[in-house]
Amino acid sequence: MNIRDIVRADFEIIGKIDLDFKKVKCNSKEIDEGDLFVAIVGQNSDGHEFIDEAINKGASVIVYEKSRYSPTRRDDLTWIGVEDSRDALAWIASLYYGNPSQRLHLIGITGTNGKTTTSYLVREILNGYGKKTGLIGTIRYLLDKQEIKAPHTTPDALQFQALLDEMLKRGIDYVISEVSSHALSLKRVDYSKFEVAVFTNLSRDHLDFHKDMEEYFLAKKRLFTELLKEDGKAVINIDDEYGKRLAEEIRASKILFSLHNREADLFVKKYKLSFRGTEIEIVLNGETHSIKTELIGIPNVYNTLCAISVALCFGIPMDVIKSSLLNAKAPDGRFENINEGQNFSVFVDYAHTPDALERLLMSVVRLREEIGQTGRIITVFGCGGNRDRGKRPQMGKIASDLSDFVIVTSDNPRWEKPREIIREIEEGITRENYMVVTNREDALKVAVEMCESGDILIVAGKGHEDYQEIEGKRIPFDDREVLRKILRELKR
């Protein structure tokens, strides 16, 4: 590609403008001869400090932020000065890969909770409609049937455009992407055009990154105001206060869904929960439709409504939607049933925010009431280190209030002391129905040994994760595998 193909009026060029470059890189260690290097300011490092390394490895074009770096003119280099190198990377990456989003049906799903499950349900429906799909999400990236482990919910701008390009090459028509607030703030998906933008909900999370809930909301809003196609559609949960606000503030064509608001385009007439699945009667355009799914709990009623709304944006018939949802499975670690033949229930869930934990436990309480079960709800959870500390006491109170017994343990402490994190969780607990077991494996063992016939054990926070992050190291640890091992040993 030639520099002329990517230049913009606000780019300041020093050196040759009529110059070909090979690849675009933002990691200096990956530079090869003739590449273009974009210096990105990260949370832990500044790419401008690695410009010399990129040059020494053969970079022929350097993109830098004018406020952070003063280049020295060289005959063998072209410098491109920009105001914001993240914006420039997104712009260049999209052009380098030929603006792939404009040739795809791109669906973006944002919100605090429900993104992953909704994305899998949408994929199931599209596959049931005979479409080849790609998925970019928290657990993994899916290119039709090929799986790639996901290092981030939303990859950086270069990886994102490369994935879209690869999907096009494989004949994939529809791409569903989880779009995190970090991705929107850091412009990882900028210069992509989304055909459908989805808002699940917004509750406290990532306030270590966003200064407050308003900034968090405005980051999410960008998907609908800046990245949605002019003729694109917005799918919004109006039971959420921020969703209702979003629906009022944007001009895009909308499909609104709700559990109980009859003014929504899609709402629930009634539903029945069980540990075997959920039955939902929805109303659409005055007609009632019965939906059955193996997914469990009220949060999954919302996820199902959301996925149906997305399907309606593409004109998918209701019979296809129904049959697809009937066979849909929950993603890994989303209210996942761990069954080794024990006489009590065990579920693992990714709930790691106050809202998600409350929704999860409320669903369990409701399920217990509906089936007339008298067993206890025992909850094991912790909070991550070096993240929003304000949610710790909130989650402690929620777990204690909605459970019969709680075991507070370690999650991903990162660089914090696990016992200090637990102490902050304890500040929110107002009942004497908990104990502390700092080591997570020990906590799971204590919880299993405590369970009696008919009890319901909920292990929250890590879901699909197969590691614990401790002092900069990722130690192998999977709640599901550890629980299965403990349960099998219990039967001996």
Measured on CA atoms in the order 41, 46, 50, 52, is the torsion positive or negative?
positive
The stretch 89-110 carries a mean pLDDT of 97
pLDDT at 208 over 60: no
Which tens digit of pLDDT belongs to each residue from 253-296? 999 999 999 999 999 999 998 888 999 999 999 999 999 999 98
Per-residue pLDDT band at 209 (split at 50, 70, 90) = low
pLDDT at 181 over 90: no
Nearest to 283 by CA among 261, 311, 315: 261
Whole-number Å distance between alpha carbons of 215 and 222: 11
Which pLDDT score is estimated for 19? 95
Percent residues over pLDDT 70 in the chain = 97
Which tens digit of pLDDT belongs to each residue from 318-357? 999 999 999 898 888 889 999 999 999 999 999 998 988 9
Which pLDDT score is estimated for 145? 84
Per-residue pLDDT band at 490 (split at 50, 70, 90) = confident
Which pLDDT score is estimated for 387? 84
Whole-number Å distance between alpha carbons of 266 and 254: 11
Whether domain 3-96 has CATH 3.40.50.2000: the reply is no
Which pLDDT score is estimated for 206? 53
The stretch 372-400 carries a mean pLDDT of 93
- Give the type of residue at 228: L
- DSSP three-state, residue 270: strand
Please state the length of the chain. Answer: 492
Q: Which tokens sit at 359?
A: 């929704």
Alpha carbon separation from 29 to 37, 48, 50, 57, 76 (Å, rounded):
10, 13, 9, 8, 20
Nearest to 179 by CA among 213, 121, 220, 142: 220
Alpha carbon separation from 409 to 223, 364, 378, 442 (Å, rounded):
36, 21, 13, 9
Distance, first Cα to last Cα, the chain: 65
The stretch 441-470 carries a mean pLDDT of 95
Which pLDDT score is estimated for 68? 94
- The answer to whether 157 and 97 are in contact (CB under 8 A) is no
pLDDT at 370 over 90: no
Which pLDDT score is estimated for 112? 87
Which pLDDT score is estimated for 447? 98
Q: Left, alpha or beta for 97 (phi > 0: left; psi -120 to 50: alpha)?
A: alpha
Which pLDDT score is estimated for 45? 86
Angle between the 298-313 and 115-128 helix axes, to the nearest 10 degrees? 50
What b/e readout covers 222-231, taking b as 16+ CB neighbours within 10 angstroms?
A: bbbeebbeee
The stretch 128-142 carries a mean pLDDT of 92
Mean pLDDT of the chain: 93
3-state DSSP helix/strand/coil % of the chain, to nearest 5: 35, 25, 40
Which pLDDT score is estimated for 154? 67
pLDDT at 492 over 80: no
Which pLDDT score is estimated for 355? 86
Which pLDDT score is estimated for 153? 58
Percent residues over pLDDT 90 in the chain = 81
Q: How many CB atoms lie within 10 A of CB 57?
A: 17
Tell me the CATH number for domain 336-491: 3.90.190.20
145 vs 455, more confident: 455
Per-residue pLDDT band at 205 (split at 50, 70, 90) = low
Which pLDDT score is estimated for 253? 97
334 vs 205, more confident: 334
The stretch 366-371 carries a mean pLDDT of 83
The stretch 193-198 carries a mean pLDDT of 98
Nearest to 76 by CA among 15, 12, 29: 15
The stretch 425-437 carries a mean pLDDT of 96
The stretch 97-109 carries a mean pLDDT of 97
Which tens digit of pLDDT belongs to each residue from 31-64? 999 999 999 988 778 999 999 999 999 999 999 9
Nearest to 150 by CA among 164, 137, 161: 137
The stretch 355-379 carries a mean pLDDT of 89
**In the chain, what are the domain boundaries?**
3-96, 100-326, 336-491
Q: How many CB atoms lie within 10 A of CB 168?
A: 18
Tell me the CATH number for domain 100-326: 3.40.1190.10
